[in-house]
Amino acid sequence: MPIKKNKRTMQTEFFDGDVASQTPSASSVLEEDADAHTHLAAGQRESANMGLIMKELREFREDNSQQLNVIREEINKTSARIEEAEKRINETETRLQVAEDTVQELLHLQIHLDAKLTDLEELPATFELRVERAHRALMPKPPGDASPRSIVAKLSSHRMKEELLRSAWHKRGFEHLGKRVNLDHDYAPDVLKRRREYAEAKAVLKERKIRFQTPFPARFRVYYPEGAVVYESAGEATEDLA
């Protein structure tokens, strides 16, 4: 009887040991659950990071697209302005070319008219000088023994007037009825008075055979051997010649 009881006990213990060896422990299960939870959390974080990256990429693409659209619009506007500027430049160049051609034609016409006018004005001495009017100078009549008043004549041709004066100055005037006649511009009375003040200086220069001129309005140019000098008054000229 006691031996049988021991056998059952041994069998029970044997079976209990097999079951214990085949059933996992609670700690193992907890570790597996923790690992699974850790892997799940890591996957979720990775998925969240990927979603954030994709969102930033989409925003970056949208921002780049907007900036490219703005740049494209600016380029189109600039291209339009350049085309308009080129069009205006071409139109301006065309107008300038037309203006240059017109100016050239006018210059040729002027040269032709000047030559024709010169031919018409170079008339023989028997022809009239085409004096429009002539009269005595507007000043009191001098006494009988004094020089008569000057005669003021207006010619219809300015070129003829200049050539006539140049010829008279070159010949130093001419004689009429035994009297010396000089030709000059019709100066204002005050200018004529100032020019007459150089008479003494002119006489001295003529004796010394020094060339001189009286530029308008009342200056005095003397060509000394060492160079030309221009005087503004008769006093300056007389002082140097003294």
pLDDT in tens, 108-143: 877 777 666 656 555 554 556 678 888 888 778 888
The total domain count for the chain is: 2
Would residue 169 count as lying in a domain? yes
Residue 219's domain comprises 187-242
- Angle CA(181)–CA(183)–CA(189) in degrees, nearest 5? 105
- What does pLDDT average to over the chain? 76
Using an 8 Å Cβ cutoff, are 152 and 178 in contact?
no
* Residues forming beta bridges with residue 131, ordered by sequence position: 155
| Contacts of residue 197, Cβ cutoff 8 Å, sequence gap at least 6 | 233, 234
With 0-12 / 13-18 / 19 or more C-beta atoms within 10 angstroms meaning exposed / middle / buried, residue 150 is: middle
Would residue 88 count as lying in a domain? no
- Angle CA(37)–CA(42)–CA(47) in degrees, nearest 5? 125
Residues 172, 191, single domain; the answer is no
Rounded CA-CA distance 228/213 in Å is 10
DSSP assignment of 7-24: HHHHHHHHHHHHHHHHSP
6 has a pLDDT exceeding 50: no
The residue-averaged pLDDT of 20-29 equals 52
Would residue 174 count as lying in a domain? yes
Give the pLDDT band (50/70/90) at residue 3: very low
Would residue 221 count as lying in a domain? yes
Give the pLDDT band (50/70/90) at residue 27: low
Residues 222, 175, single domain; the answer is no
Rounded CA-CA distance 202/196 in Å is 10
pLDDT in tens, 28-63: 656 665 666 676 667 677 777 787 888 888 888 888
pTM above 0.75, yes or no: no
Would residue 140 count as lying in a domain? no
